């Protein structure tokens, strides 16, 4: 989470003001995160282009979360929120994106998402 917040701050307060002064289009981002298990695996053919990748349910869920984020927004899943310390949890509020109806397998409720509140990093 610290890395995502730092990236957001660097883009909004460092990079984009420079781009604006130089008439360069600003950078935009959407960050979605959650925590859980993932598998590191080889993708591709060793004779051509082999690389490592992460796969699993958590990775798929994180992709769904990221696609729900608005421009320049950080959104996390309930599991990640539960794993944060009390202070960091207080930096988030519940987020209900339009059309979000995902639930975990064998769960009755929709999986809750949370958005980072505006914070001032100096």
Q: Provide the β-strand partners of residue 42.
A: 52
**pLDDT of the residue at 86:** 94
The residue-averaged pLDDT of 42-59 equals 85
- The answer to whether residue 119 scores a pLDDT higher than 80 is no
Which tokens go with 97? 């994106």
**Prediction pTM value:** 0.86
**pLDDT of the residue at 118:** 87
> pLDDT band for position 33 (50/70/90)?
very high
Q: Could you give the domains of the chain?
A: 31-116 (3.30.70.1230)
Query: Residues 6 or more apart from 31 whose CB is under 8 A from it?
Result: 4, 7, 8, 66, 69, 73, 74, 75
């Amino acid at each position: 989470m610290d890395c995502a917040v730092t990236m957001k701050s660097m883009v909004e307060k460092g990079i984009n003001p420079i781009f604006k002064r130089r008439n360069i289009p600003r950078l935009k981002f959407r960050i979605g995160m959650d925590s859980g298990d993932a598998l590191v695996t080889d993708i591709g053919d060793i004779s051509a282009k082999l690389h490592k990748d992460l796969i699993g349910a958590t990775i798929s869920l994180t992709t769904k979360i990221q696609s729900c984020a608005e421009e320049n927004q950080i959104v996390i899943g309930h599991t990640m929120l539960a794993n944060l310390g009390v202070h960091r949890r207080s930096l988030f509020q519940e987020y209900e994106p339009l059309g979000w109806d995902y639930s975990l397998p064998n769960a009755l409720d929709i999986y809750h998402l949370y958005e980072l509140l505006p914070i001032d990093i100096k």
